[in-house]
Structure 1
Amino acid sequence: MRIFFIGTVEFSKRSLEKLIDINANVVGVATKTKSSFNADFADIVKVCKENDLNYKSIANINSAECINWIRSLKPDVIFCFGWSNLLKKEILNLAPLGVVGYHPTELPKNRGRHPIIWALVLGLKNTASTFFFMKEGADDGDILSQKKVSISWDDDAQKLYDKLSTVALTQIETFHEELKSKTYTRTPQDHSIANLWRKRGKNDGRIDFRMSSEAIYNLIRGLAKPYIGAHIEKEGKDIMVWKSKVGNNYNRNIEPGKVIQIVDSHIEVKTGNASIWLINHEFSNLPKPNEYL
């Protein structure tokens, strides 16, 4: 089975390495050598060179030049794991088995943008690792493989990213053989229960201490590395916060945003319902107790 591979993030790199490990026949790779869009960007050119794979750095995946190149390689299937641009119909219909995409949610639930971030910010207890046959819609094609993944209270973005990746790599090994032997199944999505997550904006990452401690904790862990980070706006500057812990100061007479105490550079701040400890942050000068953030 001839596979054409498209990807440009850390998960793409791990997936390509998995395909190489299982001796899959990867006939071509489309990637990028840099990206200002993907926080988890990974340069997979080195992997291609080390394994003598035919690759190109692509600015426009839907260009006639790129489409003609893919067509010339005669792929049976295209794997698109980690690509920010939509694939147009011509590519989606190019390979006999179609294009397999990846979305780390329990499709048809939670289609759309920033799936790992939103799952943590919203405090979900479970998500899923889902491979599906891509169509022109957003994450709405038939499901090829889906495995549920639990989200622990101490999972941040990197931990959940790694957890999902580990599950996904086992799925790749299984459905690669199923596609190769044509024993795979396609499960149509129930569009009546689908929802679409929107693109995250800068204001979505701003910490508002009127929020509950749990909501602030979820926001911080959801935007932790490899992503952009949650931030506090102070004196016209954005101060990033990477890790926090829910506190237990329930004094209703203290206003949200007030610094309660500082211990070893850890800052306890009053929230809408309790308090939050800012554990890993980028304050160049620590605030003082009773100061407001």
Structure 2
Amino acid sequence: MKIIFIGSVYFSKVMLEKLIDLKANVVGVITKKNSDFNSDFVDLSTISRVYNIPFLYTKNINNQETIYWIKKLKSDIIFCFGWSSLLKKDVLQICPMGVLGFHPALIPENRGRHPLIWSKILGLEKSGTTFFFMDKGADTGDILDQKEFKISFQDDAASLYEKMIVNSVDQLKFFLPKLISNSYSRIKQNKLGNTWRKRDQIDGLIDFRMTSESICNLVRGLSKPYFGAHCIYGDKEIKVWEVELSTCDLNNFEPGKVLEIINDNIKVKTSDSAILLTKHNFETIPSVGKYIK
């Protein structure tokens, strides 16, 4: 089974390396030279050069140059793991087995954008990883394999990313032989389920009128490898990378008020208690009694 691999993020790198480790017949790689969109961007050409796999840089996965390059390789299937734009009909129909895609959620629930981030911000207790055959919709094709993972309150973006990788590698080892031997099955999705929207900058704003737990989920969901949550102090946007729950019995204090400074840790009043900002980009630590928006 000849495979063309498409990807441009760290997850793509892990999966491509695993395919090579499993002796899969990867006949081509499509990737990007750079990306302003993905904070976890990886150029896969380095791996391609090491293993003498033909590769193509593209800015448009659906253009005629890319389509011609794919057709020329005469592969059986495309694996598209970690690509930020939808593949159109002309690409989806090239290979006899179609295009295998990936989504880090338990579709049909939670299709759409930023699934790891939204699952943490919303305080979900579980998510998962799904491999599916791509069609013209977004995350709507037949499911090949799906596996759940738990989300703890202490999880952040990095730990969820790692859970996603561990799940996915296990799944790849399970379903790759089935694809090769044509002994796999496809499970149609129902039309139920939701689709998450694209995040805006304001979705990363810490509003201290939120509960302390909600602020923890927001900050942890946007921590590295992503772009970070932020608050406003004066006229400056300040990144906040790590927080901890704290306590406060002063119910007559307004949210956003700085209650205490412990070394460089900033204790701030929230709607229901307090939060401790433990890793942040404040150049000047605000004084007790000041307000952070």
Question: Per-residue deviation at 1:36?
Answer: 0.2
Which letter does structure 1 place at the counterpart of 2:35? S
Q: In structure 2, what is the equivalent of residue 204 of structure 1?
A: 203
Which letter does structure 2 place at the counterpart of 1:274? S
Structure 1 segment 98-117 matched on structure 2, within 5 A: 98-117=98-117
Structure 1 segment 235-274 matched on structure 2, within 5 A: 235-274=234-273
Residues 81 and 101, structure 2, Cα contact 8 Å, conserved in 1: yes
Q: In structure 2, what is the equivalent of residue 76 of structure 1?
A: 76
Runs of 4+ displaced beyond 4 Å: none
**Equivalent-residue separation in structure 1 for 2:249 and 2:124 (angstroms):** 25
**Equivalent-residue separation in structure 2 for 1:237 and 1:75 (angstroms):** 52
**Equivalent-residue separation in structure 2 for 1:59 and 1:106 (angstroms):** 29
Q: In structure 1, what is the equivalent of residue 274 of structure 2?
A: 275
**Equivalent-residue separation in structure 1 for 2:80 and 2:199 (angstroms):** 22
3-state DSSP of counterpart to 1:276: strand
Which letter does structure 1 place at the counterpart of 2:110? N
Question: Per-residue deviation at 1:230?
Answer: 0.3
Q: In structure 2, what is the equivalent of residue 145 of structure 1?
A: 145
**Equivalent-residue separation in structure 2 for 1:28 and 1:35 (angstroms):** 20
3-state DSSP of counterpart to 2:161: helix
3-state DSSP of counterpart to 1:292: coil
Question: Per-residue deviation at 1:85?
Answer: 1.2
Where structure 2 has 5 or more consecutive residues not aligned to the other structure, the ranges are none
3-state DSSP of counterpart to 2:127: strand
**Equivalent-residue separation in structure 1 for 2:197 and 2:66 (angstroms):** 29
3-state DSSP of counterpart to 2:145: strand
Q: In structure 2, what is the equivalent of residue 48 of structure 1?
A: 48
Q: In structure 2, what is the equivalent of residue 223 of structure 1?
A: 222
What is the percent sequence identity of the aligned residues? 50
Q: In structure 1, what is the equivalent of residue 39 of structure 2?
A: 39
Residues 133 and 144, structure 2, Cα contact 8 Å, conserved in 1: yes
**Equivalent-residue separation in structure 2 for 1:237 and 1:253 (angstroms):** 27
**Equivalent-residue separation in structure 2 for 1:77 and 1:171 (angstroms):** 17
Count of equivalent residues: 292
Question: Per-residue deviation at 1:185?
Answer: 1.0
**Equivalent-residue separation in structure 2 for 1:275 and 1:120 (angstroms):** 20
**Equivalent-residue separation in structure 1 for 2:195 and 2:289 (angstroms):** 41
Which letter does structure 2 place at the counterpart of 1:162? E
**Equivalent-residue separation in structure 2 for 1:209 and 1:65 (angstroms):** 50
Q: What's the CA shift string for 1:35-62, capped at 9, x where partnerless?
A: 0011111122111111111101111111
**Equivalent-residue separation in structure 2 for 1:260 and 1:201 (angstroms):** 30
3-state DSSP of counterpart to 1:15: helix
Question: Per-residue deviation at 1:250?
Answer: 3.1
3-state DSSP of counterpart to 1:23: coil
**Equivalent-residue separation in structure 2 for 1:279 and 1:189 (angstroms):** 43
RMSD (Å) for aligned C-alpha atoms:
0.8
**Equivalent-residue separation in structure 2 for 1:172 and 1:95 (angstroms):** 20
Question: Per-residue deviation at 1:235?
Answer: 2.1
**Equivalent-residue separation in structure 2 for 1:250 and 1:200 (angstroms):** 34
Question: Per-residue deviation at 1:243?
Answer: 0.6
3-state DSSP of counterpart to 1:169: helix
Residues 210 and 270, structure 2, Cα contact 8 Å, conserved in 1: yes
**Equivalent-residue separation in structure 2 for 1:2 and 1:41 (angstroms):** 25
Which letter does structure 2 place at the counterpart of 1:49? R
Per the normalisation by structure 1, the TM-score is 0.98
**Equivalent-residue separation in structure 2 for 1:183 and 1:251 (angstroms):** 63
Q: In structure 2, what is the equivalent of residue 195 of structure 1?
A: 194
**Equivalent-residue separation in structure 1 for 2:107 and 2:71 (angstroms):** 30
**Equivalent-residue separation in structure 2 for 1:128 and 1:4 (angstroms):** 25
Question: Per-residue deviation at 1:81?
Answer: 0.3
Q: In structure 1, what is the equivalent of residue 63 of structure 2?
A: 63
Which letter does structure 2 place at the counterpart of 1:271? T
Q: What's the CA shift string for 1:232-285, capped at 9, x where partnerless?
A: 112221100001011121321111000110112111100011110101100000
Q: What's the CA shift string for 1:70-107, capped at 9, x where partnerless?
A: 01111111000000111010111111111010000010
